[in-house]
Amino acid sequence: MDAPFPSALHAAVLDWYDDHARDLPWRGVEATAWSVMVSEFMLQQTPVARVLPVHGTWLERWPTPTALAAEPTGEAVRMWGRLGYPRRALRLHAAAVAIAERHGGEVPASYDDLLALPGVGDYTASAIASFAFGERHVVLDTNVRRVLTRVVSGAELPSPAVTRVERDVATSLLPVDPATAATWAVATMELGALVCTARQPSCDACPVAGLCAWRRAGFPAYDGPPRRGQAWAGTDRQCRGRIMALARETDGSVPLGRIEGAWPVAEQRQRCLAGLVADGLLVAIGSELDEVLAYALPS
């Protein structure tokens, strides 16, 4: 039967998006699939405001996957700058190589081909197929999850991991027409990013406030399992970040002494350096006696 809830929800969200969508460089008719793909990698856990400038310089330098694939991985890591999680730069480079080798230099359109690329999981594959190619896919990112949890389920925040029920709900709400489904996906994401935010949602400006189960229930507070925080001070993550910052800002290799100055705790420093080398983010520069003297971005 033609339940009023979904269609009213669709109309409200799509109309809202029509009026309020941000004009982002990876949206719109002039954006290439590669531009969309680069944006999706950069936006994994990194806010739009910080992605914008790097995305621009990245595409200027590497307008195609083939252009990136021809460069050393270290150049990608350096250009990644301070977006964080630099392994994403490595994976984007590896994905570009795979696209050059397996797909004739063209970003593949199918979910399965995309999913097979390094650094591409369910979300990113769905997003690229949907936004760059207008295909019909459930796009379940943190924004969409939050919006649907509130509007449909009546809870403040989604569970730590995607549940079967959650995916079923998202699937049932996906418009049948591919183009509409793609717009629905980006529109629900945008609503979560701009209005239905995690901490202080702007329910007054929300186009679906009248349909929202969470609002109707009186905004009950989150009561699920404790959400995982991220320790920082003194962690390997901070240590690795500091070493990588040195490597990025240094032309050539970083002498061991400078790394020791940047992180005095010897055991942890060694562990992190070994990890960075194992990840492919750094290479060790040795003497003829096989003694490590410096570290550098891979060239």
Partner DNA sequence: CATGCGTGGCA
Partner DNA sequence: TTGCCAAGCAT
**Binding DNA by CB under 7 A: which of 61, 82, 102, 216?**
82
Is position 45 an interface residue for DNA (rule: CB under 7 A)? Answer: yes
Least spacing, CB of residue 232 vs DNA, in Å: 5
Q: Beta-carbon neighbour count of residue 231 at 10 Å?
A: 9
**Binding DNA by CB under 7 A: which of 242, 250, 277, 298?**
242
# chain residues binding DNA, by CB under 7 A: 58
Is position 39 an interface residue for DNA (rule: CB under 7 A)? Answer: yes
- By annotation, the residues acting in catalysis are 40
Q: Is the dihedral of CA 117, 119, 121, 123 positive or negative?
A: negative
Applying the rule CB under 7 A, the residues between 87 and 116 that interact with DNA are 87, 91
**Binding DNA by CB under 7 A: which of 79, 127, 185, 191?**
127
Q: Is 77 exposed, middle or buried (0-12, 13-18, 19+ CB in 10 A)?
A: buried
Q: Is 226 exposed, middle or buried (0-12, 13-18, 19+ CB in 10 A)?
A: exposed
- Quick one: which segment of 12-20, 96-104, 231-239, 256-264 binds DNA (CB under 7 A)? 231-239
**Binding DNA by CB under 7 A: which of 2, 29, 200, 288?**
200
How many angstroms separate the CA atoms of 108 and 34, rounded?
10
Is position 247 an interface residue for DNA (rule: CB under 7 A)? Answer: no
Is position 52 an interface residue for DNA (rule: CB under 7 A)? Answer: no
x/- map, 8-37, DNA, by CB under 7 A: ----------------x-xx----------
Least spacing, CB of residue 285 vs DNA, in Å: 20
CA distances (Å), origin 205, targets 16, 67, 114, 197: 10, 43, 36, 12
Buried b (16+ CB within 10 A) or exposed e, 152-164: bbbbbbbbeeeee
Buried b (16+ CB within 10 A) or exposed e, 41-74: bbbbebeeeebeebbeebbeebebbbebbeeebb
Tokens representing residue 256 in the block: 């061991």
Tokens representing residue 113 in the block: 């081909």
**Binding DNA by CB under 7 A: which of 65, 108, 192, 207?**
192
Q: Which residues bind DNA (CB under 7 A)?
A: 24, 26-27, 39-40, 43-48, 50, 82-87, 91, 118-125, 127, 141-143, 146, 157, 160-161, 189-190, 192-193, 197-200, 227-230, 232, 235-238, 240-242, 244-245, 275
